[in-house]
Amino acid sequence: MTEASVPRIARVRRLLDAARVLADPRTALGARARAELPAVSGLSAENVARALSEVLEVDATDGDLQRLLATVEDSPRTHVLLAANVFTAPLRAIALALAQSPRVDVRPSRREPLFTELLHEASHGAFRIVSELAPAPGDHVWAYGSDETLESVRGELPAGVVFHGHGSGFGVAVLELDDADAAQVTQLSAALARDVVVFDQRGCLSPRLVLVVGAEARARQFATELAAALARHHHDIPPGPLSSEEAALVSWYRDTFTYAAEAFPAGKGVVGFSPGGELTLPPVGRNVHVARLPDPVAPLEPWARAVTSVGLFGSEQLRVRLAGVVAGARLCAVGQQQRPPLDGPVDLRERTRREVL
Amino acid sequence: MNREEILSRSDALHERVQRFALANDGDSFDAIACDIARFQADAIPGYRRLADARGSLLDDASALPAVPTDAFRLTRVAVHDSADDVTRFVSSGTTAEARSVHALRRTDTLERLALSWGRKALVPHWPARRVVIALAPHPGAPATSSLGFMMRSFIASLDGRALAADPAGAAFDPDSSARWLASPQGLDAEGVRRAALVALERQEPLLVLATSFALVALLDGLGGERLRAPKNSVVMQTGGFKGRTRTVSPGALSSAIARAFGIDEARIVGEYGMTELSSQAYEGTLADAELSGPPSVYLPPPWLRIHSVDPVRLIRLPPGEVGLARFVDLANVDSAVCIVTKDLVREVDGGVELIGRSPGAPLRGCSLTLEQLLPGKAAGGAA
């Protein structure tokens, strides 16, 4: 059977099988991934191991895969340009491409090509790794990176290429704590901390801003318990090193909120707390800004186009209102923001839709 | 502290700063800075928290906890209650983000000190009089722009006469639209021409107080025309192009301004200040003025220290190394005596060079890694 005659879903499943090899620490490639990815990903060995075991989307259901297939159209050839911010991201990116075409060229991140190379090896060459992409009119290009990079890439593609750009973003959690008891607050803080820790907030799903509705004491309890949970993870899943620029931004954020409101130490990170509702986006690493607001929906509007994911604890009414504002963001339970089902692109925002150049 | 105690301590510190700055009374910069810092920590819970978090006893002026300028956007930075504000300076941010607000309880310290240092940088030894105009919008009453407030003080103190060839007997109006030649509607190039002619007829220099952006607008308005202006005119230039659609390199702008006014480039004097400060630094390029220094080096007055600090630990860097600008401004009695900004500076020759802004966009998300697609671009920036 030629590659072109392999059913679309079989191509995706073959890639998932390869991912399972990497997720399994007992396999040679799984062991190699755990040994070598910390150096190139900037994450600690513990964080890499956890991402491979718990976050890599190897448990997709048939329903998930059918939905994934439905999100893409056939293409003679598909090209994938990868970024290095989340090392597991190539799985979904390449799965989408294989769902679309039997001929997939992948240009990995130069800084972090390893996971793509391991996936290539484990899948016995289900796609090609290339150093430069050369799309022709009619081909599809999926590009991941900063908005500036995407704009640059888009501008240099030939006419007739179908472009899918996935750019900057971040995750938000929205919590209605009016009726939550102390135990629920503790559970929520622990769940959110897990999503903050994985990938050290370098991905576009990572929660960095929490909007709380409820009494100030409840909101403060959440912020302090989140800081404590992050501090605990500092020991069991240590953070990777920050660049000097990132460390400077953390220092700036910490001092700003120590003065302007409150800042709770959280390992090497910080949880800023604004009982008055001031909003800001903390730097990456393991930093979360918690703001208490009477209504979280309207203040979120100016940020909406950058929000890719919302972890929600609240009423159905709130969910509906949020969905109207952050259209395209994935809404899920708190603690599930880093584990979206493998049912299509991770980023569903309007501005990521396909575009024929 | 109750209100009376706050006002009493504040007034005593204002008087002390003015004596130190204007009368050189032998007091110590370090001692005054630490006393102001202790006063602010007693009156402002946020500064007490910052000092505690830094483990500072507020007894070392070189290690006072610095308030990030973002705090002025997010909260009130003042020892006193808002009911005692006489004005609030608001930054000229052009984005949707909140603007910095600097609340002042009294403005005399700021005004006297600004004039004192401004004279040394902008006023030649001779002649004694000059014509002063501002390429800026009128700051309002009370002024909501720290720069506009300073410009108005300069107009009143360094000129103080009607804008006419023969000002004798004519009423002086510092708020006249003939003085404030920029507005949201544009720049009044004809007003600049008129003021330049007045200066020529009086045989006095023209002192133009302007933002960089307004100067670009003036050049656009003149369309290559050379103004008829006195050769000993001076241009005070301040600010960059944050959020503006058109930018011009500093060198090209200086050349074009000098050409338009028919003056030497050394007579374009850079000013470095901001809403969150009460004091300013200047280039010392004007040969016949008191302040002397090389181009691009901003010289602070004796009551202001500007240091380049490590962005993480905020400790002072050796001269020549680029870091964040950390200010100790004794004139900030009622707000934050020590602030840190995202401006990047390098300490040189008794002053600082302004290098740019610290990188770090508000939204980062998946923007950490840049990839390149097409042949020919790959070598530029690997991810």
Which helix (H) or strand (E) segment is A162 a member of? strand A162-166
Given its phi and psi angles, is residue B140 left (phi above 0), alpha (psi -120 to 50 degrees) or beta? Answer: left
Asked whether the predicted pLDDT for residue B359 surpasses 70, the reply is no
Confidence band of B93 (pLDDT split at 50, 70, 90) = low
pLDDT of residue B251: 80
Question: Tens of pLDDT along B298-320?
Answer: 999 999 999 999 999 999 999 99
A198 touches chain B (CB under 8 A): no
Note the pLDDT of residue A97.
96
pLDDT at site B379: 27
Q: Please give, rounded to a whole number of angstroms, the shortest distance from the CA of A157 to a CA of chain B.
A: 8
pLDDT tens-digit readout, B102-131: 999 999 999 999 999 999 999 988 888 999
Q: What was the pLDDT predicted at B246? A: 57
CB nearest B365 (choices: A141, A169, A245):
A169
| Average pLDDT for A231-246 | 92
The domain made up of A170-333 has a fold known as Aldehyde Dehydrogenase; Chain A, domain 2 (3.40.309)
Amino acid at B354: L
Confidence (pLDDT) at A297: 93
Compare A26 and A1 and report the one with higher pLDDT.
Answer: A26
Please name each of the domains of chain B with its CATH number.
1-83+305-359 (no CATH), 108-302 (3.40.50)
Distance in angstroms between the alpha carbons of the first and the last residue of chain A: 34
Is residue B365's pLDDT more than 60?
A: no
SS3 B206: strand
Residue B95 has pLDDT above 50, yes or no: no
Q: B33-55 burial, b for 16+ CB within 10 Å, e for fewer?
A: bbbbbbbbbbbbebbbbbbeebe
- For residue A243, what pLDDT band results from cuts at 50, 70 and 90? confident
Alpha helices in A198-342 (DSSP H): 216-236, 244-260, 297-300, 316-325
Entry pTM = 0.87
Q: How many angstroms separate the Cα of B147 from the Cα of each of A172, B76, B101, B151, B283?
A: 38, 20, 13, 6, 17
> Nearest CA to B278 among B169, B96, B153, B134?
B153
pLDDT digits (tens, 9 = 90+) for A276-301: 888 888 988 999 999 999 999 998 88
Q: Is A278 on the interface with B (CB under 8 A)?
A: yes
- Picking from A81, A166, A259, the nearest residue to B373 by CB comes out as A81
B363:A168 CB<8 A: yes
Hey, is the C-beta of B63 within 8 angstroms of any chain A C-beta?
no
Ranges for all domains in chain A classified under CATH 3.40.309.10: 170-333
Give A280's contacts in chain B (Cβ within 8 Å): 70, 74, 362
Q: Which residues 8-67 in chain A show a CB within 8 A of chain B?
A: none
CA distance A63 to A18: 20
pLDDT confidence of residue B143 = 82
B267 near B233, Cβ under 8 Å? Answer: yes
Residue A351 confidence class, pLDDT cut points 50, 70, 90: low
What per-residue confidence (pLDDT) applies to A78?
96
Alpha carbons B89 and B12: distance in angstroms, whole number: 23
B382 CB-near residues (< 8 Å, 6+ apart): A110, A111, B372
pLDDT at A85: 75
Does residue B96 surpass a pLDDT of 70? no
CA triplet B217, B221, B223: central angle to 5 degrees? 120
Share above pLDDT 70 across residues of chain A, in percent, rounded to a whole number: 97
Is pLDDT above 90 for A317? yes
State the smallest CA–CA distance between residue A96 and chain B in angstroms: 19
The CATH classification of domain A3-167, taken from the options 3.40.50.300, 3.90.1150.10, 3.40.605.10, 3.40.50.2300: 3.40.605.10
Residues of chain A with CATH 3.40.605.10: 3-167
Its ipTM equals 0.88
Q: Percent of chain A having pLDDT more than 90?
A: 71
Res. B243 pLDDT band, cuts 50 70 90: very low
